[in-house]
Amino acid sequence: MKAYMYDNVPGDQRLPHDSGRQVTADDLASLGVHYHRFPETSEVDALAVERGYKNRDEIVVSPEKMGDVYEDKVKMFFNEHLHEDEEIRYIRGGQGYFDVRNKGDEWVRIQLEKDDLIILPAGIFHRFTTDESNYVHAMRLFKDEPKWTPLNRAPELDGNEFRKGYVSQFLN
């Protein structure tokens, strides 16, 4: 895992966009974002039990696997959004970027690769993209039935109970 401030320079979202300003795992934890490196899936299994995750699936994001919808899907994942559930992703292969908003509402880019696991709290604004290789294989964990419901950033989300909970816990 490598984390840093996003440079906000126009260009392909799949480029590194590294500003050179590093962000530590402790900085991420202060935002409610937790990182683990798990070379063995048994470690993921233990975390799933600890956090009450009962279901999982796997997704491959690549032009070969997704065909003509790949570009549209990658653009959709990159729309700034939040979820009303904690989001856990375990990278099984390839690489990708999760961008999260910090306390100053700036983007922090988190580069993940094989064996990296990230936990994003409910209510955090974030987005995802592959890197230039256009390939990532990820395991998604869910407390109940698999679902992925993004709520795109909009002023009315300020009143969302999960967003308000996140803000009061991590941004105040």
Q: Which residues pair with 165 in a beta bridge?
A: none
Asked whether residue 82 carries a pLDDT value surpassing 80, the answer given is yes
* SS3 of residue 51 by DSSP: helix
Q: Which residues are annotated as a binding site for Fe(2+)?
A: 81, 83, 87, 126
Asked whether residue 157 carries a pLDDT value surpassing 80, the answer given is yes
pLDDT score for 143: 87
Q: Report the alpha-carbon distance of residue 166 to residue 172 in Å, rounded.
A: 9
Tokens (6 digits) for 24: 């530590």
pLDDT score for 146: 72
pLDDT score for 112: 98
How much of the chain is helix, strand and coil, in % rounded to 5?
Answer: 25, 35, 35
In the chain, what percentage of residues exceed pLDDT 90?
95
Single out the residue of 55, 69, 62, 70 nearest to residue 148, CA to CA: 55
Q: Which residues are annotated as a binding site?
A: 81, 83, 87, 126
Tokens (6 digits) for 97: 């970027």
Q: Report the alpha-carbon distance of residue 69 to residue 74 in Å, rounded.
A: 9
Q: Which residues are annotated as a binding site for Ni(2+)?
A: 81, 83, 87, 126
Fold exhibited by the domain 2-171: Jelly Rolls (2.60.120)
pLDDT score for 142: 92
The tens digit of pLDDT for each residue in 114-141 reads 999 999 999 999 999 999 999 999 999 9
Tokens (6 digits) for 76: 């959709």
The tens digit of pLDDT for each residue in 49-68 reads 999 999 999 999 999 999 99
Residue ranges covered by each domain of the chain: 2-171
Average pLDDT over every residue of 9-32: 97
